[in-house]
Structure 1
Amino acid sequence: MWRELISRLGVDWHLADPARQDGIAAAEEALGHPFPDDLKALLLESDGVHDGLGAGVVWDLKRIREDNAFLRTDASIGELYMPFDSLLFFGDNGGGDQFAFARTGTGSEIYVWDHEDDSRIWVAGGLDQYLERTAQADNPDWFRPR
């Protein structure tokens, strides 16, 4: 399903080999919560999606696990930013801003975190909408008002 959607979007994105179910389960256990179903399904088709410039449209499982653990536990991060426990980061725009699922509500809402001002802005109602909006964007900051 996800490979077909990305193919229909007509973008030059690079897909990886699938992640393993046991790897996803281990990451969920390490982070202490399940991943959204759509993210798991995409990872089982491709362990990461990168654009032609190398931005992580969807990170690989290893980066999802490591970056989320770091952002939630590093003391220096905790001094600079609001807590990240309510977010599950999974992608970036190549310029420092990162995309995350909200771990509240439906579990499919996606926000962008601005690393400069610590804002969290709603950008999509699901992974499919996020991919479509990212593919249609003419710049990596498509979520910012012009």
Structure 2
Amino acid sequence: MWRLLIGELYPDAEFPEPAKEALFWRIEENLGLPVPPELVELLRETNGVHNEYGDAVVWPAERIVEDNLAIRAEPDHHELYAPFDDLMFFGDSDMGPQFAYVHTGYGPGIVKWDHETDERRLAVVSLRDYLARCLGQDNDWFR
């Protein structure tokens, strides 16, 4: 399903091998957050997604763990930013913003985070909408 959608939005997309199942548990165990089912489904089909500019729209599962742990461990981040405990970063633009699932009492949504201002704005409510904006005609929004 995800490969088909991505291929429709970005016909030149390349698809890496699927993520290993054990990585989903590693993400949850290390971050203390559930991996949203739609992200698990995508990573089971392709371990990451890049757009036409080479931006990692969806990181490989290994990077999801590594980058989230790194951002939580950076001592300066505790002084500069609000806590990251309810965020699971999973994609970025080389031009600046990063994207994360935010876990709320109402379910996950996807926020766009600006590391310069610590602004966290709800961007979309589903991975499908996120990919449509990042890979489709509205990809300037992503940058």
TM-score (norm 2): 0.90
> 2:93·2:142 contact (CA, 8 Å) conserved in 1?
no
> 1:14·1:52 contact (CA, 8 Å) conserved in 2?
no
> 1:93 — aligned with what?
93
> 1:82·1:118 contact (CA, 8 Å) conserved in 2?
yes
> 2:80 — aligned with what?
80
> 1:109 — aligned with what?
109
Shift in alpha-carbon separation, 1:27–1:143, aligned structure 2, 3 A: closer
Equivalenced residue count is: 143
How far off its partner does 1:52 sit?
A: 2.6
Shift in alpha-carbon separation, 1:83–1:9, aligned structure 2, 3 A: same
Q: Distance in 2 between matches of 1:5 and 1:82?
A: 34
- The residue type equivalent to 1:7 in the other structure is G
Q: How does 1:1-146 map to 2 (within 5 A)?
A: 1-137=1-137, 139-140=139-140, 142=141
Shift in alpha-carbon separation, 1:137–1:75, aligned structure 2, 3 A: farther
- String of CA shifts for 1:38-69, please: whole Å, max 9, x gaps: 01111111111112322110001111001111
> 2:10·2:51 contact (CA, 8 Å) conserved in 1?
no
> 1:123·1:143 contact (CA, 8 Å) conserved in 2?
no
Q: Distance in 2 between matches of 1:136 and 1:16?
A: 20
> 1:101·1:107 contact (CA, 8 Å) conserved in 2?
no
What SS does structure 2 have at the residue aligned with 1:109? Answer: strand
How far off its partner does 1:107 sit?
A: 3.4
Q: Distance in 1 between matches of 2:118 and 2:16?
A: 31
How far off its partner does 1:24 sit?
A: 1.3
How far off its partner does 1:73 sit?
A: 2.4
> 1:11·1:135 contact (CA, 8 Å) conserved in 2?
no
> 1:15·1:46 contact (CA, 8 Å) conserved in 2?
yes
TM-score (norm 1): 0.89
Unaligned runs of 5+ in 1: none
What SS does structure 2 have at the residue aligned with 1:117? Answer: coil
Unaligned runs of 5+ in 2: none
Shift in alpha-carbon separation, 1:139–1:46, aligned structure 2, 3 A: closer
Q: Distance in 1 between matches of 2:136 and 2:52?
A: 14
Q: Distance in 2 between matches of 1:138 and 1:131?
A: 10
